[in-house]
Structure 1
Amino acid sequence: MELTVLGCGDAFGNGGRNNTSFLVSDKDERILIDCGATTLIRLKAEEIDLDEISTIIISHFHGDHFGGIPFFLISSMFENPRKNPLSIVGPKGVAKRVYELQEAMYAGTAAKTLEMDLTYYEYEQGKAITIKDKVIHAWEVDHSLPSIPHAVRLEWRGKSVAFSGDTSWTDNLVPLSKGTDLFICECNFLDKVSFGHLGYSELLEKHSAFDTKQLWLTHMADEVIEAKDLKINRLSDGQKLII
């Protein structure tokens, strides 16, 4: 199984990086973890058939994490009509949020999403979501409350991938990481401690509590991207990881 980093940037595009989106692939199916505004562009660059993407998992309702869904859907409706069903998994109210965003971005197209083979699933704390052979867990985290922030974990075909979403330190990151093959953790700052995002210095002190085979940093400001000799690996756009 492979993970392609479609985007690992922050909301401000620091480092010239694309919005957050990770593509998890095996030989015949693909899953998106987050779908930031630049996601369709990156999928086209990777020559990915959208119809092979069965599931989109959304961590929270900020544009750099779910703002790419309207572009994904208009391509799936008009450019290359989907033949396969699509599941969108996200925080409470995800169906309403996607519908409203679709209409705001491309007026008149939201109603057409109701004609698609599209199923929505909402997170419930402590309850797993099962979609065929995929199991998705979500933990509440500490970020902008109106965005309904969650960390997410995908268990699929014997592998597990976790993503912190956007958050400051929360003990929920520890069970999120437990036994994972890959854990992608946000790290917006170098030394700063601020609500809503993690800093490298803080994470360096606490990351030994994580139980994962691979730990990688994402959502980095320039100061983290440019820092020398960090002890935790940093992602870059276009990178591919074997899970």
Structure 2
Amino acid sequence: MKVTIHGSGDAFGSGGRFNTCLQIEAGDGRLLLDCGSSSMVALNKAGVSRSRLSTLLFTHFHGDHFGALPSFLLDAQFVSRRREPLTIAGPAGIEHRARHALEADFPGASTNRWRFPITYVEVTPGEPAELAGVAIEAFAMVHDERAGPCQGYRLTQGGKTFAYSGDTAWTDELIPLAAGADALLVECYTWDRVLANHLDYRTLRAHRGDLDTPRIILTHMGPDMLAHGEPLPETRAHDGMVLVL
């Protein structure tokens, strides 16, 4: 399994980073895990062929994770002239949220006659799914239910498991999310300031022993976290980073 982090930033592009956008390549499967507002720029910069991506999977519906969906769809319709089927997956309500986002960004677009088939799939905790040949498990996270349900995911293929928290404060659900994973990509927005809907490094460090994974990568870092450049046991994500599991 290969994970390319095209976007590792927070909602505000702190440090000049793109919004969250992860490309997962597993066997013949190609999917995007989150597609934040700046993701079309990131994907174009990286030369990614969007037509080879069969699936978009979202953790929640904030713009820095979900905001490029309308542009992705219109690019497929009018630029790449996609013919390949596309699956759009995510928490409960994904189809309603997608249509609402299309209409908000490009009025009238929600009624487009698409050149390609679109299938919507809800992925929920306790109901495993398979997307693009990858086994997906969802876990409830603690972030902002107005933009949710907010979820983290375990992605497993070929005996390898990649875990991703999405946005969340500390929750004990991070423990089964990480358990036995080859790598955990986890948000770490602040250094030691505790927030109700984001994780800080001090809290993460206090719970490090609960997370049964050999590799933790920190992402979604805000200015406070980025200001701390000292060596850490964990790896800091950056745009263009590639993880091979």
The more displaced of 116-125 and 65-74 is: 116-125
Residue-by-residue CA offset, 1:46-86 (whole Å, 9 max, x unaligned): 11111110111100010000001111101101111222211
Q: Residue in 2 aligned with 1:151?
A: 152
Give the structure 2 partner of residue 235 of structure 1.
237
Distance 1:188 1:21 in 2: 16
Alpha-carbon contact 1:133-1:157 (below 8 Å) kept: no
Superposed CA deviations along residues 181-239 of structure 1, whole A, max 9, x for unmatched, are 22100000100111101110110110221122321000101221221223321101111
Residue 114 of structure 1: CA displacement?
5.7
User: 1:189 — aligned with what?
Assistant: 190
Q: Deviations over 1:112-136 (max 9, x none)?
A: 2666311111122211012362211
Question: In the alignment, which residue of structure 1 is the partner of 2:101?
Answer: 101
Q: What are the residue-to-residue correspondences of 1:114-153 with 2, within 5 Å?
A: 116-131=116-131, 133-148=133-148, 149-153=150-154
Whether the 8 Å CA contact 2:27–2:133 is kept in 1: the answer is: no
Distance 1:38 1:113 in 2: 25
CA 41–27 in structure 1, closer or farther in 2 if over 3 Å, else same: farther
Counterpart Cα distance in 2 of 1:123 and 1:40: 24
- DSSP-derived class of the 2:31 partner: strand
Shift in CA distance, 242/113, structure 1 to aligned 2, threshold 3 Å = farther
Listed one character per residue, the Cα deviations across residues 150-197 of structure 1 (whole Å, up to 9, x for unaligned) are: 111211233211110111100000101112122100000100111101
Q: Which secondary structure state, in structure 2, belongs to the residue aligned with residue 34 of structure 1?
A: strand
Inter-partner Cα distance in structure 1 for 2:143 and 2:113 = 29
Question: Structure 1: 5+ residue runs without aligned partners?
Answer: none
Could you state the TM-score of these two structures normalised by the residue count of structure 1? 0.95
Judge conservation of contact 1:153–1:162 (CA < 8 Å) in 2.
Answer: yes
Shift of 1:139: 0.9
Give the aligned CA root-mean-square deviation in angstroms.
1.5
After the TM superposition, which segments of 4 or more aligned residues of structure 1 sit over 4 Å from their partners? none
Identity %: 36
Give unpaired runs (5+ residues) of structure 2.
none
Q: Which residue of 2 aligns with 1:212?
A: 213
How does 1:173-188 map onto structure 2 within 5 Å?
173-188=174-189
Distance 2:133 2:212 in 1: 23
Which residue of 2 is the match for residue 55 of structure 1? 55
Match of 2:223 in 1: 222
